[in-house]
């Protein structure tokens, strides 16, 4: 049976759109209301990020950056609107498929979130072990990633023996070891001094060059200004600026 | 799923929480031990019933007159009674025991005791011994058939004596099950609490697991296995406790009665029969409690 007229065309168009522009993150008129607050945390936010982009998400505290990242990770669902990561409709994802989403997203935080009782190599391997990867595969890729983040010599150290910058490198290694489509970083330099921050940014840049899409929420204007990447600014839950080669902000 | 990793998580969890784990194991084992004792009581009741069903008879005692006259149930009255009894559908067989036979049996039973001196041949009645096909409905049927009949002095149901023994055993069983239930509630709460504490102390790990996309099954299986392991260990301790109880306590207590075949002994086989049931109950309850706790209190 032939498909109805127009239907096949649409499908082909969708397909071309997916291949050519390869949108990896797409928020469509996303609104998020929290019960405790009258003002929406996100207010009709529409964002589209293509594969291989490096995006800064900026804005003051409470502007909705963290909420946006939580929606991408399906830690929360939007009140209205749709969220897509790659081909997954995030808000509609049944709970049992959420792990599949999270396996495609790497995550880094201000507080590193390392396991204090595991070595550097143990922390990175843990991320693969718990999603059921083969030991042989883990043995092979973990040292490669540690090499990439510059910690090959400190594989057997415990987290408390490392500096903040080194701990964040371990966290980045852990986030990247499963080769995610997207790396989300929530204030990754928030606890670090400016020099160390620059090192971490260089590392994120290196990861970005492997083809990974990076989205980084930050307050750090010097970092944003020096990179000259796409900047999406949120204020009171709305997108107030979206520039392809932006700086943190004029007059701040 | 890699079993070595899960095993490592489980061991770490049990070690980290060692006091709680011990409390949980002990409570579980006491509860299951009581359940086991109750089950053994049930089994003993069944055995005792079997033991007696072969031997217990309903005796129709004849009047003194008739007993003296009729030595072989050849006369009309006794023969009539016998025919009536034999005709009842619930009766298996009827046997006549004459006054003389009863006296001989009595002297055998109480040989060497002063009681034999008191008995004269004509003090004991002749009896029709009725063996029942149906233990439950038989005795009332015999009673009904014999009511008001000439030549019948009384109907003695030996089961009345045995019933007291059954009441005692049933009482033991009920007490065991009641105590087991109370302990089971304590065990459930402890298991539930331990799972929560366990999940809380490992929230960092679980947080990371969730973040990197481990399935709910993978993040929660260690907690479940932890609960099941304590359940199984509790059951094993309970079984060992029952064994010890049998050899150190019950055997000695029953020694006299057992040798007289009043109460059948608790055998090793019985405990072997009870142990796997306890393990299954322990593991099952722990698993269900753990699962429900995780669903209710712990975010996946």
Q: What is the reported pLDDT for A240?
A: 93
Instruction: Dump pLDDT digits (tens) for A215-242.
Output: 999 988 888 998 889 999 999 999 999 9
Q: Cα torsion at B274, B279, B284, B289 (round to 10°)? A: 110
Residue B120: is its pLDDT beyond 80? no
Mean pLDDT of B100-128: 77
Structure tokens at A68: 């946006």
Q: In whole numbers, what is the pLDDT of chain B averaged over residues?
A: 83
Residue A10: is its pLDDT beyond 60? no
Instruction: Dump pLDDT digits (tens) for B124-176.
Output: 888 888 888 777 777 788 888 888 888 888 888 877 777 777 788 888 888 88
Residue from B8, B11, B209, B212 to probe the interface with A (highest A Cβ count within 10 Å): B212
Q: Which positions in chain B touch A174 (Cβ < 8 Å)?
A: 208, 212
SS3 B155: strand
CB contact under 8 A, B212 and A103: yes
Instruction: Dump pLDDT digits (tens) for B8-31.
Output: 878 887 887 788 889 889 988 998
Residue A84: is its pLDDT beyond 70? yes
β B152-157/B58-62 pair status: antiparallel
Residue A121: is its pLDDT beyond 60? yes
Name the residue with higher pLDDT: B217 or A90. Answer: A90
Residue A15 pLDDT class (50, 70, 90 cuts): low
What's the distance, CA B123 to chain centroid?
Answer: 40
SS3 B48: helix
Residue A2 pLDDT class (50, 70, 90 cuts): very low
Across the beta sheet with B58-62, what order do the strands follow? B91-97, B127-132, B58-62, B152-157
CB contact under 8 A, A102 and B218: no
Nearest-CB residue to B212 (from A95, A96, A102): A102
Residue A162: is its pLDDT beyond 90? yes
Name the residue with higher pLDDT: A107 or B180. Answer: A107
Residue A252: is its pLDDT beyond 70? no
Mean pLDDT of A175-202: 94
Q: What is the reported pLDDT for A35?
A: 86
Q: Which positions in chain A touch B3 (Cβ < 8 Å)?
A: none
Q: What is the reported pLDDT for B259?
A: 55
Structure tokens at A171: 């966290």
Q: Which positions in chain A touch B219 (Cβ < 8 Å)?
A: 130
Residue A251: is its pLDDT beyond 50? no
Expressed in angstroms, the distance from the first to the final Cα of chain A is 62
Q: How far apart are CA B154 and CA B175, in angstroms?
A: 37
Structure tokens at A71: 């929606």
Q: How far is CA A87 from CA A93, A146, B140, in A?
A: 11, 30, 80
Q: How far apart are CA B240 and CA B235, in angstroms?
A: 9
In the block, residue with structure tokens 């092979």: A140
Q: For residues B24-57, b (16+ Cβ closer than 10 Å) or e, as one string?
A: bbbbbbbbbbbbbbbbbbbbbbebbbebbeeebb
Q: How far is CA B229 from CA A166, B27, B223, in A?
A: 39, 14, 10
* B24 in Cβ contact with B187 (< 8 Å): yes
Q: What is the reported pLDDT for A77?
A: 93
Residue from A99, A103, A167 to probe the interface with B (highest B Cβ count within 10 Å): A99
Nearest-Cα distance to chain B for A7, in Å, is 36
Instruction: Dump pLDDT digits (tens) for A35-80.
Output: 887 889 999 999 999 999 999 999 998 899 999 999 999 999 999 9
Mean pLDDT of B45-51: 77
Residue B110: is its pLDDT beyond 80? no
In the block, residue with structure tokens 């997108």: A239
Q: In whole numbers, what is the pLDDT of chain A averaged over residues?
A: 89
* CA dihedral sign of residues B137, B142, B143, B145: positive
B37-41, B214-218, B236-240 — most confident range: B236-240
Mean pLDDT of B178-193: 87
CB contact under 8 A, A130 and B300: no
Q: What is the reported pLDDT for A21?
A: 57
Q: How far apart are CA B33 and CA A149, in angstroms?
A: 57
Residue partners of B167: CB distance under 8 A and separation at least 6: none
Residue B52: is its pLDDT beyond 80? no
Q: Which positions in chain B touch A116 (Cβ < 8 Å)?
A: 204
| B219 to chain A: closest CA residue | A130
* B227 in Cβ contact with B289 (< 8 Å): yes
Question: Percentage helix, strand, coil, to 5, in chain A?
Answer: 40, 25, 35
Q: Say if A101 is an interface residue toward chain B (CB within 8 Å).
A: yes
Q: What is the reported pLDDT for A14?
A: 52
Structure tokens at B234: 């509790």
SS3 B212: coil
CB contact under 8 A, B208 and A102: no
Q: Element (H or E) spanning A214, and its range?
A: strand A213-218
Residue A16 pLDDT class (50, 70, 90 cuts): very low
Q: Under an 8 Å CB criterion, which residues of B touch A?
A: 1-2, 5, 204-205, 207-216, 218-219, 300
């Amino acid at each position: 049976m032939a498909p109805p007229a127009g239907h096949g065309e649409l499908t082909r168009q969708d397909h071309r759109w997916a291949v050519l522009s390869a949108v990896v993150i797409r928020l469509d008129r996303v609104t998020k209301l929290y019960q405790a607050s009258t003002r929406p945390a996100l207010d009709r936010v529409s964002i589209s990020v293509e594969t291989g982009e490096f995006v800064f998400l900026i804005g003051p505290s409470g502007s909705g950056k963290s909420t946006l990242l939580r929606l991408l990770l399906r830690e929360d669902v939007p009140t209205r609107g749709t969220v897509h990561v790659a081909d997954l409709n995030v808000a509609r994802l049944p709970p049992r498929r959420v792990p599949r989403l999270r396996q495609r997203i790497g995550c880094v935080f201000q507080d590193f979130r390392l396991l204090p009782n595991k070595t550097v190599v143990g922390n990175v391997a843990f991320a693969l072990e718990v999603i059921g990867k083969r030991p042989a595969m883990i043995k092979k890729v973990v040292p490669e990633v540690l090499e990439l983040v510059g910690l090959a010599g400190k594989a057997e150290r415990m987290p408390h023996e490392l500096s903040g910058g080194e701990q964040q490198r371990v966290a980045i290694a852990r986030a990247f070891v499963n080769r995610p489509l997207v790396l989300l970083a929530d204030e990754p330099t928030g606890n670090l001094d400016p020099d160390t921050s620059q090192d971490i940014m260089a590392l994120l840049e290196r990861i970005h060059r492997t083809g990974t899409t990076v989205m980084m929420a930050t307050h750090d204007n010097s970092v944003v200004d020096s990179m000259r990447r796409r900047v999406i600014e949120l204020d009171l839950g709305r997108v107030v600026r979206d520039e392809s080669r932006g700086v943190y902000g004029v007059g701040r | 799923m890699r079993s070595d990793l899960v095993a490592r998580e489980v061991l770490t969890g049990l070690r980290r929480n060692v006091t709680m784990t011990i409390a949980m194991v002990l409570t579980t084992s006491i509860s299951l031990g009581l359940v086991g004792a109750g089950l053994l009581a049930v089994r003993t009741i069944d055995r005792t019933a079997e033991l007696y069903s072969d031997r217990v008879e309903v005796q129709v005692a004849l009047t003194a007159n008739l007993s003296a006259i009729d030595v072989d149930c050849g006369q009309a009255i006794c023969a009539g009674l016998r025919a009536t009894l034999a005709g009842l559908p619930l009766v298996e067989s009827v046997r006549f025991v004459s006054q003389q036979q009863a006296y001989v049996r009595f002297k055998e039973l109480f040989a060497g005791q002063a009681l034999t001196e008191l008995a004269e041949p004509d003090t004991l009645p002749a009896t029709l011994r009725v063996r029942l096909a149906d233990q439950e409905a038989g005795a009332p049927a015999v009673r009904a058939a014999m009511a008001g009949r000439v030549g019948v002095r009384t109907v003695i149901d030996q089961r009345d004596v045995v019933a007291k023994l059954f009441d005692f055993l049933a009482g033991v069983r009920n007490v065991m099950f009641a105590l087991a239930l109370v302990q089971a509630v304590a065990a459930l709460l402890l298991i539930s609490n331990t799972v929560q504490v366990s999940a809380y102390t490992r929230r960092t790990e679980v947080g990371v697991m969730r973040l990197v996309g481990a399935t709910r099954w993978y993040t929660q299986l260690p907690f479940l296995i932890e609960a099941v392991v304590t359940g199984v260990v509790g059951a094993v301790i309970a079984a060992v406790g029952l064994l010890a109880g049998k050899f150190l306590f019950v055997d000695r207590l029953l020694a006299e009665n057992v040798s007289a075949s009043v109460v059948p002994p608790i055998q090793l086989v019985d405990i072997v029969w009870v142990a796997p049931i306890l393990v299954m109950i322990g593991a099952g309850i722990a698993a269900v409690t753990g699962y429900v706790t995780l669903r209710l209190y712990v975010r996946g």
